[in-house]
Every structure is written in C-alpha cells, then in structure tokens.
Structure 1
C-alpha cells in the first residue's frame, strides 16, 4: 500500500474588508464549502478569536454594502482564495465568535421588489437567457457575467386569436367588409407582408366621411366579432394612402378606431395614430377598454378624404393590450402563417373565412419573468435557469457564470486508498428518495396575478419507470426542462459516495473524479461538492453521476494521458492510477 503523502506547507489566513478598513482575523477553525447543487455556491463557517473593539464593530452584516470575508487556503502549493459576503456574526459564551459568509448569490436572494409594481423588464431580454442575466439581472447588484457560449431562449408565450375574418384580404369573399362613402375591391398591386398577395383598396371616396366598416357595425346592443363589455381590445391595420385629396372635415382620417356605445346610448370613439399621406405602408393601432356597462362595440378604418385611394391590409383585432410578452407590439398574423420557433397558426374554420389562433409550441407562463412585489431576484431567476437545464452561480472569486449541464472544470480528482483516502463508503440505498430514480415529476403550483391557482407538470422519464422523484415548485411555470435536468444530473446510477480525503484546495465542483478501491470497479463521475475542514487537513468530496467504469475505458484517461494518446482498449492498471 502506498503511504499517504506528507504535508510540506499549509497556510490558512482570514481577514475582513469593511468600508476602507482591513481587519485581520485570528482563525481557530471552521469549514469552507463549494457546492454545485446549492445556492449560494460557496460558503464559509469559521470560528475566530474575539477581536478588538474596532474589528468587532466592523463585523456587522447589516450595512448597506456587506463586509467581505477574504480567506486564503494553501496546502502543498495548491491554493484557493475566497471573497465572500459576511452573513452571520455570533458570539458564544466561551468568548469565540462564529461568522458565516457566502458567495454573491446571497445579494440576489436579498434584493426584493419592495414596490407595489410588477417589474416585467426581464421580458425585454427573454430571447437570450445570457442576455437576460448579463444585461438585466446582474447590473442590479453591480456585477457582470463571465464570457461563455451556454445560452437558451426563454421566451414566454401566450395564446392569441385574431377575431377579424379575412383580415389579410386573401379570401375572395368580401362580405365581411362594408364600404361607406367609397367603393372597395380586392387588389394585388399594393399588398404588403410576406404571406400576402392581396390588399383591400378603398377607392372613389364621395365625402370626407369615407370609411371601411364591418358587418355588425353600429347595431344597437351588438358586439362585433365577439367583443364583450368589460374587456380590452386592440385593433391594428396597415394603411397605404395614395394621393388623398379633399380636406377632411374632422380628425377622422387615415387611422383605425374602436367605437362603443355607453350606458347612456352615446357612441364613444377611441382613435388610433394617424398615418402620414406619404404614400408608404404604415401601421395604425388603437387599444381601448370597453366599459362593463357598454351596450355595443365595433371597429372601423377611417379614410376621411373625398379623393385619392387608401390601401388596407393585415387587419387584426385581438383581446388585450396588443403587445407581445416582451412589450413589443403584436404583429399581424392569420392562419396562413407557418409555424415558427414559438407558435403554430391555425384557422378555426375555413381558410381566410374564419378567425385564426396563434398557439404556443412551448408553454412558458409570462408571469415566470415578472418580478412580483415581495419576491427576490433569485426567486425570479432560479426556476427559469433550472428549466433551461442550466445553472447560474457566483464562484468564490465573485465571478458569475452561466453554464450548461455538460460543463466540466479541468483537473481530474483521484480518490484512492493508500494515497489520499481517509474514510468513505459506497452505498446504493433505495430508501433514500433522492438517491436513485429513473423518472422525475415536477409540479408547478402557484397563484397567478388574477388570484387563480394554476398547476402545470413537467415530466421526464419513460412511462412505467420503476422509481420517480416528485417535487413541487411554487413559482410560475417557466416551461419544460427542470425534470429532464434533474434526471440528467442524477443519471440514474444510484451510487452515494462522499469520501473524506487529504485536503487539496484546488479541488472544486465540476471536476471529473475517479474513485479507485480494491475489489470494486473503478467509479467515474463529477465532483458535486467539496467541504474543507480548515483545522483538520481534510476535505469531504461529494460526487454526482458515479458510474461503474471498466478499467480500459477511454473516458477515464487521467491528466497527463491525453485521450488521443491512449489506444482503444488500453488497460490502465490501478497501480498506475494510485501513483498519481
């Protein structure tokens, strides 16, 4: 048996940085831990001697800018330096002081929306999780995101129906449209849009009250296109003025409008933006809230000139504010549109003669990117990152990283009896609910902004799986992905191994690990966590995804043996490993 190596050098120092001052601390013991499955990722729990009065006063985590604990750990030339935010100070009866400090995830866990306003600023960056974190989230604590390529589209989605019939004028039946003080026809020379071949031409206006109306217009007690009292609607259209002439006698020209009849029987007009008479396609859009006591509601396109023509295309009426979840105006669609990255588009009936609906391909609730009053920034971002199968963490040197599930840190960790192993067991325990499973069910159960309880399920694993992990989340549904991420990290291997070995400060989560023990197969996986006993010259390594690995497997090639240099099937014996 090879004897355990002898220590030649060990240095552990600690100091507090608060404001402009630096205060040395007399360390008596404690632990420092890095854990990829926990937030904060890095934590230190130390026992220090009672300091002088000035240092004691500086050891106060309640300040606006948290004091920083700086810890240096060096053994045999390997070292790690920690820069952590002070979180706990406690004096015990024996005169020692207990302090705890964390990596900077704690800053996001503390920063809470203490206003009565829902902050939806994150949605402007939802096309890129990396952009959302780096451009919206971390600047709130004065931090930046380390460079990297791991990213995900976390766009939230909503179902929307275009209530207009033949709004793209692609159908030959024009019975939905009603000309007022003009004539209308379906023309091909002035259409717009990628899926449009025709537009509606408003021609030969006879007065400045020239308008495009729709069937059901102005009928007392009638709500056009299924509109309802108490709801909000948005109406939009693309307009092409061509040589309009004859002064309009009112403001009703070159725009869209929503009308409703109030409880007193009077009509109220809510007008959209007026386009210019420049001869180019321009959008006019209007949003109106229909009162609960309204008696009718309808929409119109207002030409408002007695000469010239007006092209009209891409008309759309939707319930709501007419905005995407990102805050951008909702663009025209109908059932002719092909599926894109987020939606499919279908007609409710005959093509170009029925309403059209935009259905999400992936269900991501918009509230998942709403910073609600009383919630922390960490409450907002952590379920979104997890559903994307990724991890956001701040390391012990205040570097923020967004990584994918395949992230690996360089440096293989060898655990071997007779070299560095002090104690440890290898067990497979089916009584441990988190120890082994081959399926995952995640239930998202939350109350939405309207006070209604919502439930969504995210599932990974084949039906008929033998053992499933069930967990509940109280955050709004961020889309599928968390269940698959949890299952992939666990990898259904079942080995539970947390050996205690000789300290090596260079070891960190995401290092590959190889465990060598007599009379058992090699085990390979990743370091999930490492906890350093700062007084006992030892560390506990927690592993993840351990798998029995044949000794001739290429995947166990150690540092110094590039995989490309190892012939397929080459037997690397355990003696060679134990000498490393």
Structure 2
C-alpha cells in the first residue's frame, strides 16, 4: 500500500507573511540555544525587508501543517528570534538564521556588577526567574518543579553571646521588668523572651554595651555592623531596632535609630538596621522600642534570634540568618562557640566550598554565562523551547511520547557508529574554575569526579571567568556521558510530534534493537524529512521496552513479565 504525506510551511514577521522556500529547524540537547533554524524566503518588498532586522530583536513565526495518508494530521509552531539576515541578489532570496531565547540571554550583560540575585539565594528557581524576568520578562514553567538552595557560603561570627536564650535571659532586660523565657521561636531559635510592656513605651533591651563581661557585644570603631532581631507584639504597634554605642569607660556615645516597622498583632517580624560604629566605640547594646506612644494595659512584647555581626559594604550575606554555637550543623554549615556556651561569640563555619562571588553578576558577563555554571553545578540544564517556554531539566528528563524507527518501514537512511575515542565518552572529569573576586584577586578552584578508580578516560573542563559554584559539575558531566559512544543517526519522513529528549526505539540492519533518547533532531523543510541523532543502548530480545503499550498497561506484575 502506497503512503504519502504533504507538508506546508507558513512564515511571518510582525504578522506580515513571508514567502518561505525552504530551510531547516534543529534541536540539540548539548547546545544553547536549544533550537536553531535557517529559513530561506523570497526577497520581500523594501518595507518588509526593513522589518527583517536582527538588531531590533525581531521574531519570526513558522507554522507547519502536515497531512498523512495513514495517520492523523499534524501541526506545529516555532516562535524564534531573528539572529542574522543575508540577502542574495543572485538567487533573489533572503536567508534568515533563527534561534530560541537562550540566544537573547547571551546578548544581555549588565554594565556594572548586579547583586540582585543575592536576595533570592534560597532558591535556584528564584535566581533564574530574577534573570529571566530582568532580561526577557519571562519565568520558568511550573514543571518540572526542580529547585535547590543556592546560598553563597560565608563564614560569620555572631557577636551576641546569649542570642538564643538557651539557658537564661542573661544580658537582656524588659522595659516593664523581668523577662519570661518561652520555648520556641522563629528562624530555628530555641527560645524567645517575653516582656510585659503595658503602660510604658519600651520593649526589650540587649545590654551588650553596659559592661565588659560574658554578655558584652564587643565592636571596633569605624567598622560597619548589622543587627537583626525577631519581634512580636500582642497588639499592632510601630517599633524600631536601635543600637547604643558605648566607649571603654562604659560611657554612652550615641544611638543609631533604625527604620520604623509596623507590627501586625501576634505575627513575628524581623527588624534590623546597619550602622558604622563611632571611632571610640568598644561595645554596643541593641534595643527595640515603640517609636511613639505607650503600650496598652496588658500588652506583651516578644523577642528572639538576635544577631549582631560585622557587615562590609556589598556583603553577600544578604539573608543574614540567625545562628549561635548550638545551632544544629547542616550540609552547608557547622556552628560552634568560641568559648563558653551562651557566654561567648559563636562562629558559622563553611563546610563545602562555594564562592561568595557566585551570585555576583559581573559587569559585562552575559546572562547565559552567569546562569549556566550555577545551573549545571546542581546537575540541571536551562532550556527554552520553540514556544518560548523555559524549563529546568535534570538528567532524567524525558519529553512526552515516544518514537519508533524501523528499517524498511519508516527509515530513509541510517548509520550506526561506535566510538571509544569520542570526547563525549568518559568516566571521570576534572573541572578547573578561575575568576577574579570582588576585590580583583585571582581565584582558582578544582573539582573532580570519577565513577571508578582508576578511571578509564578523563575529560578536563576549563571554566574561565567563572566563580566556583561548589562541587557538582564534574559529576553532572560524567553522568551525562554514560551510555554515549554508540550513536544512531536516522533520516525519515518528518514527524512533527518528535522532540529532543524523547524516547526512541530503533531497529536497523546489522545492529541489535536499540533504545535511547533523541539527542539532536533536525527538520529539513526542503525535503519534508527529519534527521535524528540518538544516544542509545542495546536491548535484549524480550526487554520490557519492546513490549506493546506502556508498562502500566501490561498484565501481571513486573516479576511475571
């Protein structure tokens, strides 16, 4: 039985039709941009030709419709940015080079260091969305929902000795008298203190500046400090966090008044301020009081999780999270007292290397080059498809559907290549990062990963002008290299449902049945064909992947197959 198909192509710019003559559209999982295209059109009139200017961020829409004698109709749309235009007077044609929106990320770079990603460092998705929003007004699709903690890792010291009230309220007083210690609190604090404040205008006061001793908060004149405190009131009120600076004779020097903060009744709120210590300051006390008026009768005021730390200009520690020496260690940080618990300063120790420059988007560095090492260090790829949809994909990502290609059925031509020497085949990797930090100093970090010891093949990656994102990229590269070395390239009639990273089952002469995923896919608009390149593995006869239907539709249990 003879089968046939008919493919039609319509192209336009700014809703103005273009006379398409041919071209190609390709996808490649190892490339950014993920989608690239070439479109040949007849030379349009002068007005339309003027619109085809890549310097004005123009877009080209390609719409495909296909009819098959033995299958349902298909259609697909490609919305791509115009990258270049070449006019051939000899052929009366214009060649347009197109790409998905990763190319636009590669175009944009800040004119000065951009620290806007730092406040989003709890979430990789938030960092990506900050950049996508700033450059393109775009954001990630909700699925896949992958996310990671991308905090820059910095050692720090909390100068407030009894900041978590673990055993008592030493060094703290309330404006209405004694404080009550209560279990629980925000940001992981073990206890909070409660002050009865009815009838007065005060709140809570840390006596770090009062006298030298175990509860003193010691400072250095001329240094910049940041103080934070979590507070909660039983009624709505306006408060501010303030610092009292004290000299070596315990004499009051001055007070720095923080911004007014409106509290909602019974809701924890973090208050803070940053200030430079006067030249003769040696200690500091922190207090949070009402900005005006008095508390109503019976009102209470709670405080927890006090932090007082040095804070240089452009400090990357934008989250400024509370800690003390007894805070439980995490995968990223360890915590310790410098002396007696709750009577000394506490230290936060970095447990893994991750450069504080990671989220400093350097002037002149493209948005794509800024995001790529961060994303890859966690084993992900940032991909924009032909409809401008952004996704964060891991090594297990699969596009929907599947494709079968069979010799003598739907294959026009095929080649099967095995290559041990391919650069894509390795079981160990070494990655070298070099960059200049915020002070202009040269930095270098090396990370490595191997599946076996000793490895068979090692690949080296150089990442210049790239702050170290922490370990992860070498492992990511090695995992992606597994299963490579056997490449199947197949040409068939264009199936417009095909996607990169789609499952494919192939039967070709001279090879076992192969299963894998589409790594590269190119549609030929001149011949109505597609060529796909797959990374495959051999399948034994009777493998589950060769059975009809999906695994969920099979009878019995997996052990009975």
Matched, 1:288 2:275: yes
Matched, 1:67 2:59: yes
Structure 2 equivalent of residue 234 of structure 1: 226
Matched length: 528
Matched, 1:386 2:387: no
CA distance 1:493–1:72, change in 2 (3 Å): closer
Provide the rounded CA distance (Å) in 1 between the counterparts of 2:390 and 2:413: 34
Alignment of 1:396-545 (within 5 A): 396-434=386-424, 436-462=425-451, 463-473=453-463, 474-544=465-535
- Kindly indicate whether the alpha-carbon contact (under 8 Å) linking 2:544 and 2:551 is maintained by their aligned counterparts in 1: no
Structure 1 equivalent of residue 245 of structure 2: 259
- Kindly indicate whether the alpha-carbon contact (under 8 Å) linking 2:7 and 2:528 is maintained by their aligned counterparts in 1: no
Provide the rounded CA distance (Å) in 2 between the counterparts of 1:322 and 1:279: 34
CA distance 1:453–1:266, change in 2 (3 Å): farther
CA radius of gyration, larger in: 1
Provide the rounded CA distance (Å) in 2 between the counterparts of 1:276 and 1:82: 50
- Kindly indicate whether the alpha-carbon contact (under 8 Å) linking 1:154 and 1:384 is maintained by their aligned counterparts in 2: no
How far the C-alpha of 1:60 sits from its partner, in A, is 1.4
CA distance 1:341–1:567, change in 2 (3 Å): closer
Alignment TM-score, normalising by the size of structure 1: 0.75
- Kindly indicate whether the alpha-carbon contact (under 8 Å) linking 2:232 and 2:269 is maintained by their aligned counterparts in 1: yes
- Kindly indicate whether the alpha-carbon contact (under 8 Å) linking 2:263 and 2:269 is maintained by their aligned counterparts in 1: no
- Kindly indicate whether the alpha-carbon contact (under 8 Å) linking 2:18 and 2:41 is maintained by their aligned counterparts in 1: no
CA distance 1:290–1:509, change in 2 (3 Å): same
How far the C-alpha of 1:549 sits from its partner, in A, is 1.6
Matched, 1:141 2:131: no
CA distance 1:23–1:296, change in 2 (3 Å): same
How far the C-alpha of 1:256 sits from its partner, in A, is 4.4
Provide the rounded CA distance (Å) in 2 between the counterparts of 1:217 and 1:296: 13
Matched, 1:25 2:19: yes
Provide the rounded CA distance (Å) in 2 between the counterparts of 1:503 and 1:254: 67
Deviations 1:258-291 (A, max 9, x none): 53879xx995653446899999998764422358
RMSD: 4.6
Provide the rounded CA distance (Å) in 1 between the counterparts of 2:288 and 2:524: 80
Provide the rounded CA distance (Å) in 2 between the counterparts of 1:503 and 1:278: 62
Structure 2 gaps of 5+ residues are: 197-201, 290-294
- Kindly indicate whether the alpha-carbon contact (under 8 Å) linking 1:168 and 1:199 is maintained by their aligned counterparts in 2: no
Aligned to 1:56, what secondary structure does the other structure show? helix
How far the C-alpha of 1:89 sits from its partner, in A, is 0.5
Provide the rounded CA distance (Å) in 2 between the counterparts of 1:321 and 1:165: 21
Alignment of 1:69-468 (within 5 A): 69-72=61-64, 74=66, 76=68, 77-92=73-88, 94-95=90-91, 96-114=93-111, 116=112, 118-120=114-116, 122-134=117-129, 137-138=132-133, 140-158=135-153, 159-170=155-166, 189=181, 193=185, 195-196=189-190, 214=208, 227-228=219-220, 231-236=223-228, 256-257=242-243, 259=245, 269-272=255-258, 285-290=272-277, 294=279, 297-301=282-286, 314-320=305-311, 327-328=318-319, 330-339=320-329, 343-360=333-350, 363-434=353-424, 436-462=425-451, 463-468=453-458
Provide the rounded CA distance (Å) in 2 between the counterparts of 1:360 and 1:458: 17
Provide the rounded CA distance (Å) in 2 between the counterparts of 1:145 and 1:430: 37
Deviations 1:485-530 (A, max 9, x none): 3222222442133333443332220111122233432221100111
Structure 2 equivalent of residue 38 of structure 1: 31
- Kindly indicate whether the alpha-carbon contact (under 8 Å) linking 1:191 and 1:313 is maintained by their aligned counterparts in 2: no
CA distance 1:566–1:543, change in 2 (3 Å): farther
Moved more, 317-326 or 465-474: 317-326
Structure 1 gaps of 5+ residues are: 203-207, 243-252, 572-580
How far the C-alpha of 1:455 sits from its partner, in A, is 2.9
Provide the rounded CA distance (Å) in 2 between the counterparts of 1:11 and 1:303: 72
Alignment of 1:41-52 (within 5 A): 41-52=34-45
Structure 2 equivalent of residue 577 of structure 1: none
Aligned to 2:48, what secondary structure does the other structure show? helix
Provide the rounded CA distance (Å) in 2 between the counterparts of 1:51 and 1:468: 52
How far the C-alpha of 1:371 sits from its partner, in A, is 3.5
Match for 2:5 among 6, 9, 13? 9
